[in-house]
Amino acid sequence: MDHPIPVTFPPALAVFGQHRSVRFFLHEPLAPGDLDLIIEAGRRAPTDAQGHMYSFVRITDAARRDRLATLCANQQHIRDAAEFFIVCLDVHRLRRLIEQRGGEWGMRARIGLIYGATDATMVAQNMVVAAEALGYGTCYIGAVQNHTDLIAQELALPPGVLPLYGLCIGVIDPEKYPPVKPRIPRALCFFENSYPADFTPAELESAYAAMSVKRDWYESIRTYFAAGGTMAHREPVMARALRQQALDPQPV
């Protein structure tokens, strides 16, 4: 399924070809009405089984925004962006709805984590596309996972609600507009009918060739995904957060 010829997006889809994560924002608000459009675009996202298993916490208090930025690797763009949300999976509200009509809650943590993360991400991505179509910059903040448990406490999240990541939306600083970043070859992630038996060394190196623009891509992914990297350090934090928020999968 590889597609060696570059795809040119038509005007109606141009926003997808122009996406980049923006980390430099002007200290300006969104235009009147635009936030409502962005949120409504998010609300129209698909939802598993009509469960709406997500919640977004908009951070408008400057002191709280600063505390969250500090917890999220001290990223200044969290403070600078016009809007900042903490994106959460949320099965608490759904449980309350079931119990409201006398039902017994039956969804366990494994399914709740999958469905909640899926619902929240579809909403967030709709918001990103809408914001970028309106000319704003966006940036997901994975560093929420550096202190998931503390952020849940900061936001007074009840059991069944878990912070997943943050989302910045704001007016782009035109002097620091980043380039569009490459993507790994299509043949390595879109398959027909079955998963390949294995990736050849040449196929794996094709990903490095595509992604190594400013530096060897291995240096980037090693920092996150190799032993001792960012994801390894986040694992015990997430374990604490899952227990704290009553979302730790139990043995079946």
Q: What is the pLDDT of residue 237?
A: 97
β strands within the chain, DSSP E: 54-58, 83-90, 137-141, 161-170
Q: What is the pLDDT of residue 250?
A: 78
Q: What is the pLDDT of residue 7?
A: 84
pLDDT at 51 over 50: yes
Cα-flanking dihedrals φ and ψ of residue 213, to 5°?
Answer: -95, -65
pTM over the 0.85 mark:
yes
Q: Which two tokens stand for residue 20?
A: 């980049």
In the structure, what pLDDT confidence band is assigned to residue 83 with cuts at 50, 70 and 90? Answer: very high
Rounded mean pLDDT, 134-142 = 98
pLDDT at 3 over 60: no
pLDDT at 1 over 50: no
List the domains of the chain with CATH numbers.
16-181 (3.40.109.10)
Alpha-carbon distance of 93 to 46, in angstroms, equals 18
pLDDT tens-digit series, residues 168-222: 999 999 999 999 999 999 999 999 999 999 999 999 999 999 999 989 999 999 9
